[in-house]
Structure 1
Amino acid sequence: MSNQVKIEPGHWVLIIFLLLALYASYLLIAPFIGPVVLAFVLSLLCFPVHQKIVRKLPDKPNLASTITCSLLVVVILVPATVVLMAIVQQSITFAKQSYQWVEDGKAEALLQQPFIKNGIERLNDFLPVGDFSIRDIINRLTEFASGFSKELLDLSTKVVGDVTGIIISFFLMLFVLFFLLRDHKKIIESLFWILPLARSQEEKLLTEANTVARSAVLGTFLTALAQGAAGGIGMAIVGMPGLFWGTIMVFASLIPLVGAALIWVPASLYLLLTGDWPWALFLTLWGAILVGSIDNFLRPILMQGTSNMSTLVLFLSLIGGLQLFGVIGLIYGPIIFALTHVLIKLYTIEFRDFLEKQDKS
């Protein structure tokens, strides 16, 4: 083909040194890759708002980026600090109440109910190891309640101790976000110039990354927050620590298949076994209808940008990203799979003649 570029031996030397330099640069920013990637994702989410601010301040890009970042601080940091303090307080109170509940004999009274005693006896008939009694369960509950209190106290201490690191990461993310917003056009043009792809292919990759990043954030985290908020309200209505259990539901809703039911189902069973069957029925209906409907209806709407990905691929991208990168992997996973999907599509277009020839041979 006439437009092919002939690569000279000296070019290979340049390419090798360039790859080595890029790898060394990656090693330099690897400790901070989380804030950098989060800044990139937030820049995609904030860009529509930032554009409106830029239109109001067309000749002041620094001020426009500062205003956008300041709005982000007000929207994220202030509420998160208030909620975190309340969660720590409620969690410690809950841990103390749980330990006192076991110590006062209420757990033993609950396990002495005929339904539970018969269930334990039948379970012992099927166990391949030695029997366990109600007293064994009580002892384990006591150990768990005591250990749970200690773990929460250690976690609270760790969170307070990590405040400096969290603040540094947050402001590093803001620093990167500032330049991504201010120099958005220059960065995109530079990437388009460097990448050895057609402009249409580059725009397709950028559009896909933009769409999937927004869909992953909105579909995953906003759904989790909505389920946690609805579940926490339900827990508060039945007399349980709403903010604490609502926060636990946010994380539980990130677990595929099980979701927030991992929290509200045991809570409903507890209310039923303690004789509060009206509240148990209420919480069951609340969880199944309201909390469950959020996941069934809100998530597909918010993740419509990933509609070209099969449900299986989307599921694997979420659990794979979670396993490999942690919570932030819920964003990384879909983006990686989506970009791979686009690259495969570009490959099939670019090498269509060769693939058709191979298919017919």
Structure 2
Amino acid sequence: MDKRISEGSNRVVLLLFLGVALYASYILVKPFLQPIVLAILIGMLAYPAHTRLEGLLRGRQSLAALLSCLLLYLCFVIPLTLLLVAVLRQGLRYSVIVSEWATLENVQAMLATPWVQDAREWLVDVLPEGVLEADRIRSQAVTIAGDMGRRFAGVSSSMVGSVTSFFFNFVLMLFVLFFVLRDHDRLLAFLRRALPLSRSQEDVLFEEVREVSKSALLGSLLTAITQGVVGAIALWIVGIPAIFWGTVMAFTSLIPFVGTALVWVPAAIYLALTGQYGLALFMVGWGAVVVGSIDNFLRPLFMQGSSMNTVVVFFSLIGGLHVFGLMGLVYGPLIFSIALVLFRMYESEFAHFLDSQDQN
């Protein structure tokens, strides 16, 4: 009896120290948690392709992992750098275009449009006095254009810290990804050994994490890229800087409720204000039907592999964005999916008890 008590006490002390050590380890890696988690998730998704590369290299695990990381670097950093340069150039050009347009004659011509006059008569009682005067609108447009130009011209110096931080995190992610790919089997065996679950439960849990990771990462990323590209085509057709605003549209597509409408609605209004009504209608139709249908089609298509319904997916996305920022688009669905899997395991393990409780 005393021996059992002693063994129980030893285990409690061991678990206590283990908990303290794990918490201390978490504090140490907390500043680098995002690149570590991202490396693990990307490693899970890239592992099938990595195994084929490893087979071509006749089982050279380290070389295969190194080449996989190098391919990811080349496929991500170089296009991103080229896109950033193009966005900055078009941003500067757009600020110049706005500044050149903002003459008193152009503003007065815009205000003379019949439907603008009707809107102005309605808004004059709502907005402060003088806001809708031609001189005021012209000066505001010149100020905005000047601010945009200064921001884009000075973006190199202001972004040094952000770019340095981004590349540090990216290199750290590649470093972790190398070991995740190379030591995948050993890491998986360690996790299976450490988790107090049956093999079937572990299989269900790992498969759900893999499916949701694929859905969240690929679903959000590919949907955003597709909407940005398709939106940029329409912007190019109507004569608005396509690379700059297409990139903005790709980022706004990640915002629930409004999404890409934050770009194409103002673009349509601008076209209407400048008298290009046909192009304005085209922009509205393209944005609402074509760009909007991409989000309604692609995102559910990628999320269909997970076991979450639409309501759960919705709250996991907006909750993740609110708590974690952009990475919440991955963390939110992942947390919800793990919670749902664990709840199903609880239902299975305690089925007899739950059934007996329902009968009483």
Q: Normalising by the residue count of structure 2, what TM-score does the alignment of the two structures yield?
A: 0.91
Cα distance in 1 for residues equivalent to 2:7 and 2:309: 39
Deviates more, 1:142-151 or 1:287-296: 142-151
| 1:227-274 Cα shifts (integer Å, max 9, x gaps) | 001111211121111100100100111111222122112212221221
Deviation at 1:156, TM superposition (A): 4.4
Alignment match, 2:44: 44
Cα distance in 2 for residues equivalent to 1:357 and 1:139: 75
> What percent of counterpart residues are identical?
44
SS at match of 2:59: coil
Return 5+ residue gaps in structure 2 as ranges: 1-5
Deviation at 1:108, TM superposition (A): 4.6
Deviates more, 1:147-156 or 1:161-170: 147-156
Deviation at 1:145, TM superposition (A): 3.4
Q: Does 1:311 find its partner at 2:310? A: yes
Alignment match, 1:133: 131
| CA separation of 1:7 and 1:96: change in aligned 2, threshold 3 A | farther
Cα distance in 2 for residues equivalent to 1:161 and 1:94: 25
Aligned ranges 1:196-345 → 2 under 5 Å = 196-306=196-306, 308-345=307-344
Deviation at 1:354, TM superposition (A): 1.9
Equivalent AA in structure 2 for residue 180 of structure 1: V
Cα distance in 1 for residues equivalent to 2:228 and 2:174: 27
SS at match of 2:186: helix
| 1:25-67 Cα shifts (integer Å, max 9, x gaps) | 1111111111111111211221121011122224310011111
Equivalent AA in structure 2 for residue 134 of structure 1: L
Deviation at 1:278, TM superposition (A): 2.8
Alignment match, 2:16: 16
Alignment match, 1:3: none
Cα distance in 2 for residues equivalent to 1:310 and 1:304: 9
Deviation at 1:324, TM superposition (A): 1.2
Deviation at 1:141, TM superposition (A): 4.0
Deviates more, 1:15-24 or 1:115-124: 115-124
Equivalent AA in structure 2 for residue 186 of structure 1: R
Equivalent AA in structure 2 for residue 54 of structure 1: E
Cα distance in 2 for residues equivalent to 1:19 and 1:101: 64
Cα distance in 1 for residues equivalent to 2:7 and 2:216: 40
Cα distance in 1 for residues equivalent to 2:267 and 2:110: 14
Aligned ranges 1:62-77 → 2 under 5 Å = 62-77=62-77
Does structure 1 retain, via aligned residues, the 8 Å contact 2:232–2:245? yes
| CA separation of 1:200 and 1:299: change in aligned 2, threshold 3 A | same
Does structure 2 retain, via aligned residues, the 8 Å contact 1:102–1:108? no
Equivalent AA in structure 2 for residue 358 of structure 1: Q
Equivalent AA in structure 1 for residue 17 of structure 2: F
Equivalent AA in structure 1 for residue 49 of structure 2: V
Deviation at 1:117, TM superposition (A): 2.8
| CA separation of 1:25 and 1:42: change in aligned 2, threshold 3 A | same
Deviation at 1:121, TM superposition (A): 2.3
Equivalent AA in structure 2 for residue 349 of structure 1: S
| 1:86-112 Cα shifts (integer Å, max 9, x gaps) | 111111221232233335653453234
Q: Does 1:188 find its partner at 2:188? A: yes
Cα distance in 2 for residues equivalent to 1:209 and 1:346: 15
Does structure 1 retain, via aligned residues, the 8 Å contact 2:107–2:137? no
Deviation at 1:336, TM superposition (A): 0.6
Deviation at 1:155, TM superposition (A): 4.5
Q: Normalising by the residue count of structure 1, what TM-score does the alignment of the two structures yield?
A: 0.91
Deviation at 1:154, TM superposition (A): 5.0
Alignment match, 1:94: 94
Deviates more, 1:159-168 or 1:83-92: 159-168
Alignment match, 2:353: 354
Deviates more, 1:205-214 or 1:133-142: 133-142
Deviates more, 1:208-217 or 1:323-332: 323-332
Does structure 2 retain, via aligned residues, the 8 Å contact 1:102–1:142? yes
Return 5+ residue gaps in structure 1 as ranges: 1-5
Does structure 1 retain, via aligned residues, the 8 Å contact 2:215–2:305? yes
Alignment match, 2:111: 111
Cα distance in 1 for residues equivalent to 2:312 and 2:168: 35
Deviates more, 1:282-291 or 1:24-33: 282-291
| CA separation of 1:115 and 1:66: change in aligned 2, threshold 3 A | same
Cα distance in 1 for residues equivalent to 2:99 and 2:19: 57
- How many pairs align? 353
Deviation at 1:151, TM superposition (A): 3.9
Deviation at 1:309, TM superposition (A): 1.2
Cα distance in 2 for residues equivalent to 1:157 and 1:131: 39
Cα distance in 1 for residues equivalent to 2:342 and 2:137: 55
Deviation at 1:277, TM superposition (A): 2.3
Cα distance in 2 for residues equivalent to 1:117 and 1:154: 38
| 1:311-358 Cα shifts (integer Å, max 9, x gaps) | 111111111111111111101111111111101111111111222222
Cα distance in 1 for residues equivalent to 2:91 and 2:117: 31
Equivalent AA in structure 1 for residue 183 of structure 2: D
